[in-house]
A and B are shown apart, each in its own frame.
Chain A
């Protein structure tokens, strides 16, 4: 998935699952939107569905300090790229950092 597609998907999840519409990409989600650790766990589950993959426990723990939409998108892009390196890389994998 391209970065912009991942960003759109993340914002869609925030709107539909967390009722947070168009948050600023660098806003602190905890301070500004009461997005707490429980929400973070729910978001990781949504990212698993979005990327059609299962996150490792270490990958989930790495997400616990994330605070902004931009950081979430970076995190998801990195996950997608890591999957591309371990799976047979197709055209989609080559575009994960595309704007």
Chain B
């Protein structure tokens, strides 16, 4: 049994805003959400990169204490976008708790800020023997904290998938959620990812010489995917949630349909855990097209992973070009907000839906001069007023994990 899977609601928290109007305005006007890295009093003095994709606006959380008490910052993000998505979906509360709705939601590593507080306990010089780890610290910080805080808040009793594969976390959430609905395991899946402000992640990439550090005084000029002056990725924070629903179920209840997921792929490079792999990425793209049962000529737009690293962008451009040539538009959306890690796939999917709805393709920000090794694809360097019917979202992660899913605009 293979069923059609549509997206009927979504919500995002991003460094370039929360609402569709705010996000679209930033994309059209070329406004960056990359800001100076906030001092955390611990690691920032040792990190070369001084930039961060920052959520610097207040969010009015209205959670009961019985819900919020098990949340670290990452779950606040996750539950907020989940709450807004379910509200926008108009789903019957009885359906939400029926077991027919599941959750696929993850983060890079739970809540690092809570984990940091736990470690402080071990290194505390306090003589108070009763100093101990809080009763809820594990619930706040565990890898699947986002998914289960969502299930708790809304009484969701369906399956739970909580991927934690760094940069492919939320694209796996969407992909595995899509497969859950497609093959009849659930009638709907609430999918996405989140990551909170965290300097540990910056330090990790910085240590690998993968973070941008040449633009610390001008944060808005980095990252620079595919540009000759790119010098690495910019870590960011954010969250994104999408409600995936079986097509007939959505249609019968009169739900608005934002788009359809028609294909998904996930594979591994089967080797090095860090280096980008052209074979693995090429295979992922081809597998997604095969799953969607379309040829490359059907795709109008590609949301490239495009982190702005020296080799990652080259390998992605070569793999993408080998399949698509120069026909579809290619944009690196991380140029606007940095790499929001576990949430990037969901946020990029949501932005692609916004682009489909409003008929435009934003340029890759800061792409002034295309690297000679990246010229085989159709870069977008100026705002294009074009209708997108089919878009592909590509994401690749440490560990050699690659994902690609394909979105289609449908007329309802």
Is B136 an interface position by the 8 A CB rule? yes
Contact between A38 and B69 (Cβ–Cβ < 8 Å)? yes
Is A34 an interface position by the 8 A CB rule? yes
Is B66 an interface position by the 8 A CB rule? yes
Nearest opposing residue in chain B for A40, CB measure: B135
Total chain A interface residues with beta-carbon distance under 8 A = 15
Contact between B130 and A53 (Cβ–Cβ < 8 Å)? yes
In the bound complex, how far is the Cα of B65 from the Cα of A38, in angstroms? 12
In the bound complex, how far is the Cα of B153 from the Cα of A51, in angstroms? 35
Main secondary structure of the interface of B (DSSP, over half): loop
Contact between B130 and A42 (Cβ–Cβ < 8 Å)? no
Contact between B136 and A48 (Cβ–Cβ < 8 Å)? no
Is B132 an interface position by the 8 A CB rule? yes
In the bound complex, how far is the Cα of B136 from the Cα of A38, in angstroms? 7
Is B173 an interface position by the 8 A CB rule? no
Contact between A45 and B132 (Cβ–Cβ < 8 Å)? yes
Nearest opposing residue in chain B for A45, CB measure: B132
Contact between A54 and B70 (Cβ–Cβ < 8 Å)? no
CB distance from B98 to the nearest CB of A (A): 23
Contact between A38 and B70 (Cβ–Cβ < 8 Å)? yes
Contact between A34 and B130 (Cβ–Cβ < 8 Å)? no
Select which of B65, B130, B134 is within 8 A of A18 by beta carbon: B65
A34: chain B residues at CB < 8 Å are 64-66
Contact between B130 and A54 (Cβ–Cβ < 8 Å)? yes
Is B129 an interface position by the 8 A CB rule? yes
Select which of B66, B69, B130, B139 is within 8 A of A45 by beta carbon: B130
In the bound complex, how far is the Cα of B15 from the Cα of A26, in angstroms? 48
CB distance from A44 to the nearest CB of B (A): 9
Is A19 an interface position by the 8 A CB rule? yes
Contact between B130 and A48 (Cβ–Cβ < 8 Å)? yes
CB distance from A34 to the nearest CB of B (A): 4
CB distance from B129 to the nearest CB of A (A): 5
A55: chain B residues at CB < 8 Å are 130
Is A5 an interface position by the 8 A CB rule? no
CB distance from B37 to the nearest CB of A (A): 32
In the bound complex, how far is the Cα of B70 from the Cα of A45, in angstroms? 16
Is A41 an interface position by the 8 A CB rule? yes
Select which of A45, A48, A49, A54 is within 8 A of B134 by beta carbon: A45
Nearest opposing residue in chain A for B68, CB measure: A19
Is A39 an interface position by the 8 A CB rule? yes
In the bound complex, how far is the Cα of B69 from the Cα of A38, in angstroms? 9
CB distance from A36 to the nearest CB of B (A): 8
Nearest opposing residue in chain A for B135, CB measure: A41
CB distance from A33 to the nearest CB of B (A): 9
- With contact pairs A18-B65, A38-B136 given, residues A49 and B130 touching in the complex (Cβ less than 8 Å): yes
Contact between A42 and B134 (Cβ–Cβ < 8 Å)? yes
Contact between B135 and A42 (Cβ–Cβ < 8 Å)? yes
In the bound complex, how far is the Cα of B136 from the Cα of A41, in angstroms? 9
Contact between A19 and B135 (Cβ–Cβ < 8 Å)? no
B69: chain A residues at CB < 8 Å are 38-39
In the bound complex, how far is the Cα of B138 from the Cα of A41, in angstroms? 13
B66: chain A residues at CB < 8 Å are 34, 36
CB distance from A46 to the nearest CB of B (A): 10
List 12 A–B pairs whose Cβ atoms lie within 8 Å, in order of A's numbering: A19-B65, A34-B66, A36-B66, A38-B135, A38-B136, A39-B135, A42-B134, A42-B135, A45-B130, A48-B130, A54-B129, A55-B130
The 10 closest A-B pairs by CB, nearest first: A41-B135, A48-B130, A34-B66, A54-B130, A19-B65, A54-B129, A42-B135, A38-B135, A38-B136, A45-B132
> With contacts A34-B64, A48-B130 known, what are 7 further pairs, Cβ within 8 A?
A38-B69, A38-B70, A41-B135, A45-B132, A45-B134, A53-B130, A55-B130
